[in-house]
Amino acid sequence: MTDEARKAVALEYLKRLDRGEDFFELFDDHIQFYFPKVGLVNGIDATKEAFGQVASLLKGITHDYAYFNYVVNGDTVVVEGTSSGTTVDGVEFRAGVTHAGRWCDVLEIRDGRIQRLFVYLDPDYAGADTDRYPWLAKESAS
């Protein structure tokens, strides 16, 4: 695969995710998946379950494709970006406006399939976990 082909697979995954379409066909059956507060899971069935857990937090999400930063090295594609959306409780989030919305994904893509997907972000989309952080507690007290 070329670097551009790998980037295209990563982008297609994110676009399908945003549209609520099936993206699991882009994953290898033996995928390794990581998401904060979910942990590391192995295999397509465990990954589907993990995505279900994460999806239970969100009503919708949109990634800002035009502003992605890509780093490609061999099979590894790193995508850094921003997003916005709404939690199931109706709380809106947007990168640069709220605490949520900035993220970084590390993917390994071989033979057109995502073999590994590690998602790095703060899963507190609603910004509810601020009391434990003195700098955030000051902001909310103002």
Give residues with Cβ within 8 angstroms of 5, minimum separation 6: 112
The mean pLDDT value for 43-63 works out to: 96
At 104 the three-state DSSP class reads strand
- Facing residues of 27 across strands? 114
Tokens of 85: 């959306």
Q: 3-141 maps to which CATH number? A: 3.10.450.50
pTM: 0.92
Residue 140 has pLDDT above 70, yes or no: no
* Beta pairing, strands 58-63 & 69-73: unpaired
Q: How confident is the model at residue 135 (pLDDT cuts 50, 70, 90)?
A: confident
| Alpha-carbon gap, residue 57 to 61, rounded angstroms | 11
Q: Where are the domains of the chain?
A: 3-141
Integer CA distances (angstroms), 138 to 58, 72, 90, 130, 141, in order: 27, 39, 24, 9, 5
Q: How confident is the model at residue 106 (pLDDT cuts 50, 70, 90)?
A: very high
Q: Are 56 and 38 in contact (CB under 8 A)?
A: no
> Closest by alpha carbon to 85, among 13, 20, 3?
20
Q: What is the pLDDT of residue 139?
A: 62
| Alpha-carbon gap, residue 72 to 56, rounded angstroms | 31
